[in-house]
Structure 1
Amino acid sequence: MPKARRRSARRAQPFEDMPLPQELLDVLQDQGLSRAFPIQTAILPDALAGRDVLARAETGSGKTLAFTLAMTARFRGRRVHRRRPLGVVLVPTRELAVQVVDTIHPFARAVGITAQLVAGGMNIDKQAQALARGVHIIVATPGRLIDLAERGQLGLDSVETTVVDEADHMADLGFLPQVRDILAAIEMGTQKMLFSATLDGQVQQIIDAFLVDPVSHETTPVSAAVTTMDHHVLEIAPAAKREVTAQLAAREGRTLLFTRTQLGAERVAQELVEVGVAAAALHGSKQQGLRTNVLAGFREGAFSVLVATDVAARGLHIDDVSMVVHVDPADGVKEYVHRSGRTARAGAAGTVVTLALPHQTGRTRSVLEGAKVEPTWVKDVSSAEHPHLAEIGGRTPSGEPVTDPATIKHKGAPRRLDLSGRRGADERRAAERRANEERRAAWQDDDAAPRDSRGGRGGRGGARGTRGSSSGGRGSGAGRSAGTTRSARSDRSGEAGQRSSGTPRRGASSTGRSGRPPRRRGR
């Protein structure tokens, strides 16, 4: 396969100077978009001409709009057969699928075509019914697309344009074998467009196998996406992490917090709610309807703090996020770039803060050097009273529990949303947490007391007895400690389960005459 031809990035130009139908220009005008971003200016001529396109662009560069305009312009006025779409957009996550199909809808309606979301975690029968009526473009996660194809409810033999978005993230999640099966079921020589932050390894294998004489476009290196932001690293004491997190979350403006695990996201969100900061968690184990509800509330401004795992770090575009906080530091450069890329999008200002515990500072320094950023490094942040927190907008939360935003149905959420059994913060639970914090602080003070002749700490037995009479004493503390241990184990097992559930099942590589990926055995 020949190497991709490279074309230099061009200056942004007005949309009205491009060969786009008037209907699409009207929608762009209604959305307040008059000039194309550089990546859109570069991609659209080749995409409209039906060429294979290979694009690497910084996060938030506008590539979704680029392939949306190209596909809707090409399919304008076309008829479509039942279960035989003309265009397929493959994305790694359900959240990104929802976002992409929302971007496509207004442009599709304007030119008289239809688009359909095909993603896991949603009703497959309703998706099949929509396909049976005939749709022009489907936006799909690989697993659900293959499920529908194997059931005979989707054929790929009429596909004329295929988009693989966030290909490097597909590789990270282990989805590229499924992507390969899908591309093998689509006629060779039809238009393929692949978008990725990196073009190496398995992604390069996909390019070599399925793209024909592609034109390559690149705006800026991936690491450049984070150079326009203000970066801060706070070396914090473990006992101060909860208070510092709350101080940053209570700031004015929309804030996105990242944690390493799903349980960590739920815990941080609940702790914020209990001290007066309206926050909700987003992660892969949350029911799809609840995830959609949380994103809808955050987008519409019903609450200003979202606590997420890396499921939200790739591809999601949420307007006006002015600060990203790495509550748990990123493990690598790519992770740091894509988390941080949720702010300072399309030239806007943004701040990125990393909270590093003493044992995490070395790894954090290495990641930031790899990302080619020079942060403001603040040492010895031992409490929420540190002056640097106020300098970057931190505020003291009210301390009074607020209603959990995840228990409220927000505009744009699914019609049927089961919120039963969900409880927000209340005075009793908040008081219990505060009491536990006081016990932990007291025990830390006890650790400094001298040991007696039997190896015990002097005065500790008396203090423990006093606490036992008022708040459950040793039994309560031991229960809390055991609960913490179980929680940590659940964190690790939950994350392992998350990786396990995201591992795709490998299908055969050959295709049938129907244009569907072959049925896997043993199902």
Structure 2
Amino acid sequence: MTTETPATTFAELGVSEQIVSALMSAGIETAFPIQTATIRAAIDGRDICGKAPTGSGKTLAFGIPAIELSSMGTPWHPAVLILSPTRELATQIKDELEPLAAAKDRSIMTVFGGTNIERDIKRLEKGVDILVACPGRLEDLIGRRCCDLRNVEIAIVDEADRMADMGFLPAVKRILDQTPGNRHTLLFSATLDGDVDMLIKRYQNDPLTFEVDEPVGELGDVEHSWYLVQPVNRIPHAIAVLQRYESSIVFCRTRKGCDRVAKVFAQRGLSAVAIHGDRSQHQRERALADFTTGKAQVLVATDVAARGIHVDNVALVMHYDPAGSDKDYIHRSGRTGRAGQDGHVISMVVEDKKKAARQLQKDLGIKPGLEVLDVAALGPIVKPPKPKQPAKPERTERENDERYGRNRDRNERSDRSSRDGRDRDRGGKSRGTSDGGRGSGKGRSFDRDSSRDGARPSRDERGRSSTERDRGERRPDGKRKVPRRGQNDWYPKGHDENKKRSSGATSGDSDDRRNRDDKPKDRPASGRNSAQKKSRDTKGRHADKNSTKNKGKRRNPRSR
């Protein structure tokens, strides 16, 4: 049944005061048509089947009743289960419902592929009330016995038609079969035919069906264009078109094609980022953040981004590869013309895709026909806006005091070290040391006899003491011109004389010995033609070694 109701407040729909105040804090005062039609019936405990286009407010339509009716979850056992086809949609659901759940003292978490599963297991062990999950990761957790759905009170399937298109329908059936039979089931989708109708008949109990079309005033003026281009001109023409728009989304059929197109765009000077299923979650979030903030002018994506990604101010949607079906075309094109803004949808059709493009136009109810793209007739190139920079948090007075205090301490330390260096240059003692800044000075004092008598150490004509001469002369900046000898290089006085005295050799003897040492010594030849080499060749390689009889032979096993 089709319902058209005027805008009403959430308090009139039976929503609690905590959630109403949280919605007011977010600037949401009145309900959308799909929310007005479903929230009251869902809070009363009825199963709901809602049909509404993407971006019509379906998240709050099922999120508010789920938070109102949910109980506290236990470890490994969530109380509310929300199934989402993509990671991006699951993240958006969690971000939109988290403030409302906090108002009712409920916890919410997401589980999907591309993230650390051990982190998900630890969070499930602590207990969660509302679980937003993608089917693949949820089945993995169930297989590890880290998630049990026997206590699920409310099960919600969002974008059910997309679940069927992506091949998640068997997984969705296996997951719903593990939930209790008396659960409360809510199903929302853009279409309610085919496989979605089978889900309704199998898992819902006398559901109320609501079909709400988005008001005409909420839709902008969207222009659809179909251009016939040559394969060699598709990239240059696409770049020429994209340069005329501030933000654009380009859709490709394959993941490799998505990466290739984004790389070519970047090489041609167009800031572009890619997003598809082979990208990690961090890469996908970063690409989406760059496009949302304006750092990237073009987002090249597969159909994974056609649903659930709500990005405002998208001026152009380009079908670089034709959509696979009329549903895919609708969901792709739905990224532009939102919130009353105008948009443009362009399809780039090559020669071998003309037949498929004409059939797609018939399915959409569009008069078949292809135009020739005239690049010269396009408008002026638009300069992309500067990316939005996040505001830096202001430092508190305490942080400023600590920061300045650290600088002041650092300056005091540097001044003290420079003063100590000047004192050492003058031959005086540095502060806090007893021998010019070298610690206790055991075994290193300048003159034991003079220091014991209390007299000043003797200095040479340049004013240097004996210790300063040993350490090496210092430069004006405090560094030594001659490197200081190490601890192992120190010898007592007269060590050379003691060595000569112990040897008892004269200078003449040493000269004769030196002459004898200079003569080459006669060593036995061991080269290629030596006798040792020849005997080794004739007798074997081990001829010059000791005989090792029975060496290496295996012993007979011990008889038992």
Asked if the contact 2:292–2:311 (Cα under 8 Å) also holds between the matched residues in 1, the reply is yes
Q: Report matched runs for 1:180-199 at 5 Å.
A: 180-199=173-192
Q: Match of 1:336, SS?
A: helix
Correspondence for 2:112: 119
Asked if the contact 2:245–2:382 (Cα under 8 Å) also holds between the matched residues in 1, the reply is no
CA distance in 2, matches of 1:410, 1:120: 29
Asked if the contact 1:296–1:410 (Cα under 8 Å) also holds between the matched residues in 2, the reply is no
Correspondence for 1:423: none
Shift of 1:147: 1.5
Correspondence for 2:103: 110
CA distance in 1, matches of 2:166, 2:362: 25
Is it true that 1:240 corresponds to 2:233 in the alignment? Answer: yes
Is it true that 1:170 corresponds to 2:156 in the alignment? Answer: no
The one of 84, 88, 92 equivalent to 2:81 is 88
Root-mean-square deviation (CA, aligned residues, Å) is 2.8
CA distance in 2, matches of 1:346, 1:225: 5
Asked if the contact 2:219–2:339 (Cα under 8 Å) also holds between the matched residues in 1, the reply is no
Correspondence for 1:21: 16
Amino acid at match of 1:316: I
Q: Match of 2:34, SS?
A: helix
Asked if the contact 1:189–1:212 (Cα under 8 Å) also holds between the matched residues in 2, the reply is no
The one of 375, 381, 384 equivalent to 1:395 is 381
The one of 291, 299, 315 equivalent to 1:298 is 291
Amino acid at match of 2:260: R
Q: Report matched runs for 1:409-428 at 5 Å.
A: none
Q: Match of 1:362, SS?
A: helix
Is it true that 1:328 corresponds to 2:321 in the alignment? Answer: yes
Asked if the contact 1:231–1:373 (Cα under 8 Å) also holds between the matched residues in 2, the reply is no
Q: Report matched runs for 1:332-411 at 5 Å.
A: 332-373=325-366, 379-381=371-373, 384-385=375-376, 387=377, 389-390=378-379, 395=381
Correspondence for 1:417: none
Shift of 1:363: 2.3
Deviates more, 1:265-274 or 1:16-25: 16-25
Asked if the contact 2:220–2:339 (Cα under 8 Å) also holds between the matched residues in 1, the reply is no
The one of 199, 203, 211 equivalent to 2:196 is 203
Is it true that 1:68 corresponds to 2:63 in the alignment? Answer: yes
Correspondence for 1:97: 90
Closer/same/farther in 2, CA of residues 12 and 362 from structure 1, 3 Å limit:
farther
Deviates more, 1:100-109 or 1:335-344: 100-109
Closer/same/farther in 2, CA of residues 16 and 253 from structure 1, 3 Å limit:
farther
Is it true that 1:55 corresponds to 2:72 in the alignment? Answer: no
Closer/same/farther in 2, CA of residues 220 and 79 from structure 1, 3 Å limit:
closer
Shift of 1:53: 0.6
Shift of 1:373: 4.4
Q: Match of 1:105, SS?
A: helix
Is it true that 1:282 corresponds to 2:275 in the alignment? Answer: yes
CA distance in 2, matches of 1:363, 1:68: 39
Shift of 1:309: 0.7
Structure 2, unpaired ranges of 5+:
392-560
Q: TM-score, normalised by structure 2?
A: 0.65
Correspondence for 1:30: 25
CA distance in 1, matches of 2:56, 2:244: 27
Correspondence for 1:494: none
Q: What are the superposed Cα offsets for residues 154-209 of structure 1, whole Å, 9 maximum, x if unpaired?
A: 11121111111111111112211111111111111211011122223322222111
Asked if the contact 1:15–1:35 (Cα under 8 Å) also holds between the matched residues in 2, the reply is yes
CA distance in 1, matches of 2:117, 2:92: 19
Q: Match of 1:345, SS?
A: coil
CA distance in 1, matches of 2:23, 2:8: 14
Shift of 1:99: 1.8
Q: What are the superposed Cα offsets for residues 339-373 of structure 1, whole Å, 9 maximum, x if unpaired?
A: 10111224432211111123323322331332234
Amino acid at match of 1:395: I
Is it true that 1:262 corresponds to 2:255 in the alignment? Answer: yes
Shift of 1:410: 10
Q: Match of 1:276, SS?
A: coil
Closer/same/farther in 2, CA of residues 320 and 110 from structure 1, 3 Å limit:
farther
CA distance in 2, matches of 1:346, 1:46: 27
Shift of 1:126: 0.5
CA distance in 2, matches of 1:162, 1:24: 20
Asked if the contact 1:333–1:370 (Cα under 8 Å) also holds between the matched residues in 2, the reply is yes
Shift of 1:248: 2.3
Q: Match of 1:39, SS?
A: helix
Q: Match of 1:321, SS?
A: coil
Corresponding residue pairs, total? 388
Q: Match of 1:351, SS?
A: strand
Deviates more, 1:168-177 or 1:198-207: 198-207
Amino acid at match of 1:380: V
CA distance in 2, matches of 1:269, 1:379: 25
Correspondence for 1:46: 41
Moved over 4 A (4+): 224-228
Q: Match of 1:82, SS?
A: coil
**Does 1 or 2 have the higher relative contact order (CA < 8 Å, sep 6+)?**
1
CA distance in 1, matches of 2:370, 2:203: 49
Q: Match of 1:290, SS?
A: helix
Shift of 1:7: 5.8
Closer/same/farther in 2, CA of residues 177 and 282 from structure 1, 3 Å limit:
same
CA distance in 2, matches of 1:344, 1:397: 21
Amino acid at match of 1:277: L
Shift of 1:219: 1.3
CA distance in 2, matches of 1:380, 1:264: 24
Shift of 1:331: 2.4
Shift of 1:121: 1.6
Structure 1, unpaired ranges of 5+:
1-5, 399-404, 412-523
Correspondence for 2:206: 213
Asked if the contact 1:227–1:373 (Cα under 8 Å) also holds between the matched residues in 2, the reply is no
The one of 150, 156, 173 equivalent to 2:149 is 156
Deviates more, 1:38-47 or 1:224-233: 224-233
Is it true that 1:133 corresponds to 2:126 in the alignment? Answer: yes
Amino acid at match of 1:184: D
Shift of 1:213: 0.7
Question: Larger Cα Rg: Structure 1 or Structure 2?
Answer: 2
Shift of 1:18: 2.4
CA distance in 2, matches of 1:83, 1:266: 39
Amino acid at match of 1:159: V
CA distance in 1, matches of 2:319, 2:346: 6
Amino acid at match of 2:372: D
